[in-house]
Structure 1
Amino acid sequence: MSEEEKLSYSEAIKKAYASVYRFPLIPVRGIPIMNLIAKNWDSIWAFRPEPSDLLIATYPKAGTTWTQEIVDLLLHNGDAEACKRAPTPIRSPFLEIFSPPPIPSGLDLLKEMDPPRIIKTHLPFQLVPPGFWENKCKAIYVARNAKDNLVSYFHFDCMNMTQPDPGPWEGYILKFMRGEYPCSPGPEVAWGSWYDHVKGYWMEREKKNILYLFYEDMKENPRREVERIMRYLDLSVSDEVISRIVELTSFKNMKENPMANYSCIPAPVFDHSISPFMRKGEVGDWRNHFTPEQSKMFDEDYEKQMKEVNIPFRTLI
């Protein structure tokens, strides 16, 4: 993408969101998602990927952008300049996103790209278009422990002017715990229940050849996890390139990279003065937010909701 095209993209966003508002959530098969996505659901569900396409799936704020950047660098042999050709949402389109015109939808962007394409989604497993599994596409799922994911999503909902107002922290904890429409008559969290999201991909990971990664593992030993991704993609890059990718995708470098830090999204949409898109990127930051009473309440509910699975989450490393 040329400098002129980057400027044009930014101007299109500003124009489209000149009178931005927080889009209401509408249930699609019980999952609350933004109304523009819900209105275009049939075209999303009908999407047919190419067998060479790669799906990167996460619950929001679980390491999506980080993984997109790692994959792009692996596919370009660690060439940092090649991976600055365009902002992340252009290089790796968000499958289900629909925005006010003239901003192109994720589907519009994908139509203009040649495979293999890196495709991002926050859809829970049951809402992923069946073409991905019918065409045996590879998929990487990244899961982050519930408490840190909740904290990060809360700050994101504060600065993201297109999603419902998160309200106070105390109430947001309860919203996150409820997740879906069937569980509550009140406000929900976009893309539904974290619990169902992480469990859905976990239970299908072997049948669908999904590489299931943990955010905490990526933080603890990024080189090991980059190598895991490399092998899963049937790639082979040198140790030197792996080291370069680890360095380029450190939180510090990602936060300073204008092609990855979402600074291309104007303030009426992402208000970075409230919270940066890339805020801390830590494991254990939940301890700075949960009171002992809130932590106890959350842990008790967590045990009930996760009792039927044994997913090895860690809240500290």
Structure 2
Amino acid sequence: MESNNDDYEVKPFTGEEEAKFKKIYTADMQYSRVGRPGYVLLSSWVDHSEDVRTMPLRPDDVFVVAFPRSGTTWTQDLVWLVANDLDFVKAKSIPLTERYAFLEDFLFLPATRMAAANDPEKIKIIDTAMRPAPEVLASTP
């Protein structure tokens, strides 16, 4: 997939955008718009985005990619169980947050990655999209 610099262009919020956003989200954080669609991301995430975009992928990486509220936690648990020979006892003894990190967590935590369950030669992507709202799909490039 080819990309150009417009895909990663970062624009800080204008004063008006920031005022509108702070009416809804009261946390004291800085936000930026990224790319042609103008995705809203935390400015701290933007600071590390190049590291994420260019991070080396390994054959044993597993990604669960999902819309919010579409079964992400459930899917993470199932993927972990499959990759660990359905070891339910071990799964109960280790919190899911320790067994499965979010992509952005790799910047702040020691490297722990899931092993692919059945084909270590390919990067595994499990895409969960269980009836996402039509407006979410319409706004997705």
TM-score when normalising by structure 2: 0.62
The 3 A distance-change label for structure 1 pair 23 and 136 is farther
- The answer for the alignment partner of 1:35 in structure 2 is 43
**Identical aligned residues as a percent:** 23
- 2:132 is the alignment partner of 1:146: yes
For the residues of structure 2 that align with 1:196 and 1:140, how far apart are their CA atoms?
Answer: 21
Tell me if structure 2 keeps the 8 A contact 1:59–1:194.
no
Alignment partners' CA distance in 2, 1:89 and 1:22: 25
The partner residue of 2:138 within 191, 195, 213 is: 195
Q: Residues of 2 paired with 1:62 and 1:47: CA distance? A: 26
Letter in 1 for 2:77: E
Alignment TM-score, normalising by the size of structure 1: 0.30
Bigger helix fraction: 1
Deviations 1:186-236 (A, max 9, x none): xxxxxxx44354xx6xxxxxxxxxxxxxxxxxxxxxxxxxxxxxxxxxxxx
Cα deviation, residue 31, structure 1 = 1.8
Aligned CA distance change for structure 1 residues 61 and 73 (closer, same or farther; 3 Å): same
Deviation per CA, 1:107-165, whole angstroms, max 9, x where unpaired? 34352x266279xxxxxxxxxxxxxxxx8412110112234xx9xxxxxxxxxxxxxxx
Consecutive unaligned residues of structure 2, counting only runs of 5 or more, are 1-25
* Distance apart, 1:57 and its partner CA: 0.4
1:57 maps to 65
Specify every segment of 5 or more residues in structure 1 that has no aligned partner in the other structure, as ranges. 1-19, 97-104, 119-134, 151-176, 178-192, 201-317
1:116 to 2:59 alignment: no
Matching residue's letter, 1:107: L
Which AA in structure 2 matches 1:106?
A: F
Measured at CA, do residues 74 and 68 of structure 1 come closer, stay the same or move farther in structure 2, by a change above 3 Å? Answer: same
Secondary structure in 1 matching 2:55: coil
Residue 89 of structure 1 is matched in structure 2 by 97
Name the structure with the higher strand share.
2
Distance verdict in 2 for CA 1:79–1:116, change over 3 Å: closer
Cα distance, 1:22 vs structure 2: 5.5
Q: Residue in 1 aligned with 2:106?
A: 106
- CA shift digits 1:223-268 (9 cap, x unpaired): xxxxxxxxxxxxxxxxxxxxxxxxxxxxxxxxxxxxxxxxxxxxxx
Question: How many residues of Structure 1 are paired with residues of Structure 2 in the alignment?
Answer: 111
CA RMSD, 1 decimal: 3.0
Residue identity in the other structure for 1:50: R
Aligned partner of residue 109 in structure 2, secondary structure: helix
Cα–Cα, structure 1 residues 63 and 115, in superposed 2: closer, same or farther, change >3 Å? closer
Q: Residue 85 of structure 2 aligns to which amino acid in structure 1? A: N
CA distance in 2, matches of 1:40, 1:66: 28
CA distance in 1, matches of 2:92, 2:124: 24
Q: Is the alpha carbon distance of 1:115 and 1:95 closer, same or farther for their aligned partners in structure 2, counting shifts above 3 Å?
A: same
From 47, 71, 74, give the equivalent of 2:55.
Answer: 47
